[in-house]
Every structure is written in C-alpha cells, then in structure tokens.
Amino acid sequence: MHLTAKDRLIAALVAQLRAERDTREALASVIANGQLDPAVLVAILTDPVPAVTQADLNRADDLSRQYPSSVHRKAA
C-alpha cells in the first residue's frame, strides 16, 4: 500500500488520539480505584505514544474513503 502525505497524517492523528484516549482511561481507572501513588500517575502520564499499527492504517484508509479526493494528479 502506497501512503501519501495525507494518509500518513491521518494515520498519525488516529494513533495519537487513540493513545490519548487510552491514557485518559488508564488515569481515570487508577484514580477511581484510589491508587494515587505519584509513581503510578507519572508512569501513566509518561507512557510513550505507540507506533502506528496496521489497524491504525486500516482505520485511516476507511476514514479517507469517506471524503472525495481534492487532489488532482497529473499524468506523468
């Protein structure tokens, strides 16, 4: 699959949003369970953002198909 700049941007944004959502869910779960140990909170908040996965790329493809292409490619 050839990725355009738009595809890479969409995939990166999807991955970032998913990572941020996962972090919020983990943080909410820890706080709800009363685990307010600073080391646990720091570990959750400094967890690195995961790399783009095939599932992220598939989701980006699905999203990009919903919009008509505004880029007109010139014949080489």
pLDDT of residue 48: 66
All structural domains of the chain with their residue ranges? 5-65
Bigger pLDDT: 26 or 2? 26
Query: What average pLDDT score do residues 45-74 get?
Result: 67
Q: How many CA atoms lie within 13 A of 51 on its CB side?
A: 2
pLDDT of residue 32: 92
pLDDT digits (tens, 9 = 90+) for 3-52: 788 888 888 888 888 888 888 888 899 889 988 888 888 888 887 655 56
- The pTM (predicted TM-score) of the whole model is 0.53
Structure tokens, 38: 């600073």
